[in-house]
Structure 1
Amino acid sequence: MKNSNHKNRILATTFLIMCFSNSLILFAGDLEKLVNLKKEWKFSIGDNMNWTSPAFNDKDWETIPVPSNWEDNGFYGYDGFAWYRTEFEIFPYYKKENLYLSLGFIDDVDEVYINGILIGFSGAFPPNYQTAFNANRIYPIPNNIIDFNKKNTISIRVYDSQLNGGIVSGDIGIFRNTSDLKLVIDLAGNWKFKIGDNLDWKKKNIDKESWENIMVPRFWRDIGYDNYDGFAWYRKEFYFNKNANQKYVLVVGKIDDIDEVFINGKLVGATGDMEDLVLKGTEYTQFRYYYLSKYDLKENQNNLIAIRVYDGMKDGGIYEGPVGIMELQTFQKFWNNYKKKESYKINPFWDFLIENLFK
């Protein structure tokens, strides 16, 4: 619900960005638009999961300009589910690039599919409704789901609870990353998530029925765990087809508060005191990077990354990227630039100030 509490969050976020943090601006500056998706999209109110399919015929749907409020385009007063669909093409030249779909701000909740495959979501649909109307959507696109030789289909499921609805604002398109942050494997995106603690969850073959989906990076409060403090686990499988003799670094961005990271069941890195759970209060500000040995990654097969997280208070989870695997030489160049940028970031004092200023 868009109440005063949400307005306070927006004010606090705006204040932080304007006064202290250039991280979002730098990230936006590192993205080059390849496909402009500011145009007329196909649109229908209602809800049907068959609409994710590229084979679905949407010729009888309405059209709507994106971005815009659907209330301003013939659907005044409508609250509920609606879908958007469009097609795009992209040159094979960009096959090896880190690609992102930018959708700006969506009111309130969304799931995004490319060629029928879920690539991202924000908020939570009813019955466990959680708005994400103030989240800027930038979703990584796995290159293996794109057909670089023909048209691809984007399908977006949206739920609006009240007032304005839809893909309402932002720079809509497909972008490539032009920064020093060149990931050989981008692990951002959809992960499996479960609260609780069980060291067996680092293993490959476990029961996954009770695990939820979560976008990484993002606080776990954004999927409804606003007041949860304690243990939780993240899991993701990825195919590794690179040179196993190359030296690699696993980067996991920032985590609130402490973590242990496993690849194929083996501990490859940790930050903080997981044994006694004594927090210094600064662990959440530390950028995680873990050097991998040539035996950690299994070449030409699926690998599993499992991350055990403990949060002592507020927020919780893998909340800031990048998250992925980089070649060592690339990481060294990235790290030198990252440290320069970090010198402009806010410190815990400003976290405290903003948290209390806008209560």
Structure 2
Amino acid sequence: MIRMVAKTLKYFALTLSLLIISTLGSNSQILQEEQYLEGYWKFSIGDDEQWKQPDFDDSQWSSIRVPASWESQGYNDYNGYAWYRKTIRLDIIPKHDLVLRIGSIDDIDEVYINGRFVGNSGKMPPNTKTAYSEERFYTIPSSYWQKGANVIAIRVYDYYDQGGIIRGPVTLNTNVAEQLVSLNLAGSWKFAIHNQHNAEKANYDDSDWSDIQVPGFWESAGWPGYDGIAWYRKSFKLPAHLANEELILLLGRIDDEDKTWLNGTRIGGVSPGSLRSSLARGLFGSYQSHTTLRAYEIPQSIINTVGDNTIAIRVVDTGIDGGIYDGPIGIMTRQQFDTFKKMVRKEPDWIDTFWEWLNN
């Protein structure tokens, strides 16, 4: 009876802690606004795949204020699909990734830049899942932009209440934290679901694995509904100017758990289980699984300063979304890392202690 009461209390405490962590977790995105996107956008109800294309003629579409619900702007009681489009001009192509920030969309969205998929929140029908309460941060690779006109297209599905891009800010930003990375490792990685024997080895053959964009949830990259084990691998050459530096590998946030190897040697990981090695911790020594920032020291004895280096990451997702979903992703020097730590907010120690209690 006592054990049953204790488990019940832990259940309610876990629910409360998830709410607390969602508001107090550290923020890895230090955003500097580059372009203000609030105002009037082109808008149409309905759904057509061609509406994401940059050469689509939207001149006959209505104009609608962003942010504000479409129901408050003449589309009373409309539930279903609708599209937003906005054309912006860039005098030069950015040399770094940009972040599209949107306060809230009711209920579900997919974002495209010049016809190329960027990301999504929630799940479209038939397996509908709302994301109306989530703030959106979409990382847009510099390769997606072009000099001159660029089209942002957002597909929205609303199944209840207001509908649309309902809250700001709506801005295009530079992630200042990304500028501290000496070697940017975001982009295409090798990926495979299920356990892969010996995948942590440096000489493992991953040529038949799929390609996946990092950061990003694997659900939005073609593995919807998958929960369990998956592997990521990426090879890189170390720039000569970093050969004698003390280096830190940044892997952003991972949903949920990870074990990370470099050239076959375990260098870090985050796991909320009761059995942990000294490697099982993230930035600030946190064990909070999907909310903590991964930051792992790279021993100089294992780094290859001439040939290829290989990162292998075993990820375990226990439910809902999964994968390496938030940056920065790359290698920093110790000096850059110390600056980065000052920019992000430290997670309170008592939350980590509370989380350990919940998982034991």
Q: Is residue 191–residue 232 contact of structure 2 (8 Å, CA) maintained in 1?
A: yes
Q: Matched residues in 2 for 1:268 and 1:184: separation? A: 22
Secondary structure (helix, strand or coil) at the match of 2:180 reads coil
The corresponding residue for 1:5 is none
Q: Matched residues in 2 for 1:13 and 1:77: separation? A: 33
Q: How big is the shift at 1:152? A: 0.8
Secondary structure (helix, strand or coil) at the match of 1:72 reads helix
Q: Is residue 86–residue 155 contact of structure 1 (8 Å, CA) maintained in 2?
A: yes
Q: Matched residues in 1 for 2:293 and 2:42: separation? A: 44
Pairing of 1:1-359 with structure 2 (within 5 A): 15-16=20-21, 21=24, 23-24=26-27, 27=29, 30-92=30-92, 95-147=94-146, 149-179=147-177, 182-183=180-181, 195-199=193-197, 203-206=205-208, 208=210, 216=215, 225=225, 228=227, 230-234=228-232, 244-247=239-242, 249-255=248-254, 256-261=256-261, 266-267=263-264, 269-272=266-269, 279-280=275-276, 282=287, 284=289, 285=292, 287-289=294-296, 291=298, 293-295=304-306, 297=308, 307-311=313-317, 317-318=322-323, 321-328=326-333, 331-334=336-339, 336-337=341-342, 341-342=345-346, 344=348, 347-351=351-355
Please list every run of at least 4 consecutive aligned residues from structure 1 whose deviation after the TM superposition is greater than 6 angstroms: 9-14, 189-193, 352-355
The code of the aligned residue for 1:33 comes to E
Q: Matched residues in 2 for 1:23 and 1:124: separation? A: 26
Secondary structure (helix, strand or coil) at the match of 1:288 reads strand
Q: How big is the shift at 1:61? A: 0.9
Q: How big is the shift at 1:31? A: 1.7
The code of the aligned residue for 2:76 comes to Y
Q: Deviations over 1:28-76 (max 9, x none)?
A: xx32211110010011111111111111111111111111111111212
Q: Matched residues in 2 for 1:128 and 1:192: separation? A: 28
Q: Matched residues in 2 for 1:17 and 1:249: separation? A: 26
Q: Matched residues in 2 for 1:346 and 1:195: separation? A: 35
The code of the aligned residue for 1:205 comes to S
Do the aligned partners of residues 158 and 178 (structure 1) sit closer, same or farther apart at CA in structure 2, a change above 3 Å counting?
same
Instruction: Say which one has the larger Rg.
Output: 2
Q: Is residue 190–residue 206 contact of structure 2 (8 Å, CA) maintained in 1?
A: no
Q: How big is the shift at 1:336? A: 4.7
Q: Deviations over 1:275-327 (max 9, x none)?
A: xx9743937357333535335658xxxxx96532135x566744674331134
Question: If the length of structure 1 is used for normalisation, what is the TM-score?
Answer: 0.71
Do the aligned partners of residues 251 and 165 (structure 1) sit closer, same or farther apart at CA in structure 2, a change above 3 Å counting?
same
Q: Matched residues in 2 for 1:181 and 1:134: separation? A: 29
Secondary structure (helix, strand or coil) at the match of 2:131 reads coil
Q: Is residue 182–residue 330 contact of structure 1 (8 Å, CA) maintained in 2?
A: no
Q: Percent same amino acid at aligned positions?
A: 30
The corresponding residue for 2:11 is none
Q: Deviations over 1:3-45 (max 9, x none)?
A: xxxxxx9987765566xx2634x84xx3221111001001111
Q: Identify unmatched segments of 5+ residues in structure 2.
A: 1-13, 281-286
Q: Matched residues in 2 for 1:95 and 1:32: separation? A: 14
Q: Identify unmatched segments of 5+ residues in structure 1.
A: 1-8, 299-303
The code of the aligned residue for 1:129 comes to T
Secondary structure (helix, strand or coil) at the match of 1:47 reads coil
Q: Is residue 178–residue 328 contact of structure 2 (8 Å, CA) maintained in 1?
A: no
Do the aligned partners of residues 328 and 41 (structure 1) sit closer, same or farther apart at CA in structure 2, a change above 3 Å counting?
same
Question: If the length of structure 2 is used for normalisation, what is the TM-score?
Answer: 0.71
Q: Matched residues in 1 for 2:78 and 2:321: separation? A: 34
Q: Is residue 217–residue 323 contact of structure 1 (8 Å, CA) maintained in 2?
A: no
Q: How big is the shift at 1:172? A: 0.5
Do the aligned partners of residues 12 and 200 (structure 1) sit closer, same or farther apart at CA in structure 2, a change above 3 Å counting?
closer
Do the aligned partners of residues 261 and 157 (structure 1) sit closer, same or farther apart at CA in structure 2, a change above 3 Å counting?
farther
Q: Deviations over 1:228-258 (max 9, x none)?
A: 4x412346x79x7x97323264311244323
Q: Is residue 260–residue 311 contact of structure 2 (8 Å, CA) maintained in 1?
A: no
Q: Is residue 100–residue 175 contact of structure 1 (8 Å, CA) maintained in 2?
A: yes
Q: Deviations over 1:116-159 (max 9, x none)?
A: 11122111212222221111101112112212x31111011111
Q: Deviations over 1:196-237 (max 9, x none)?
A: 2224877443264xx9x787466979x8759x4x412346x7
Q: Is residue 41–residue 63 contact of structure 1 (8 Å, CA) maintained in 2?
A: yes
Q: Is residue 103–residue 138 contact of structure 1 (8 Å, CA) maintained in 2?
A: yes
Q: Deviations over 1:169-201 (max 9, x none)?
A: 021011113358523565568978664222487
Equivalent pairs counted in the alignment come to 320
The code of the aligned residue for 2:351 comes to N
Point out the more displaced range, 53-62 or 247-256.
247-256
CA RMSD of aligned residues (A): 4.3
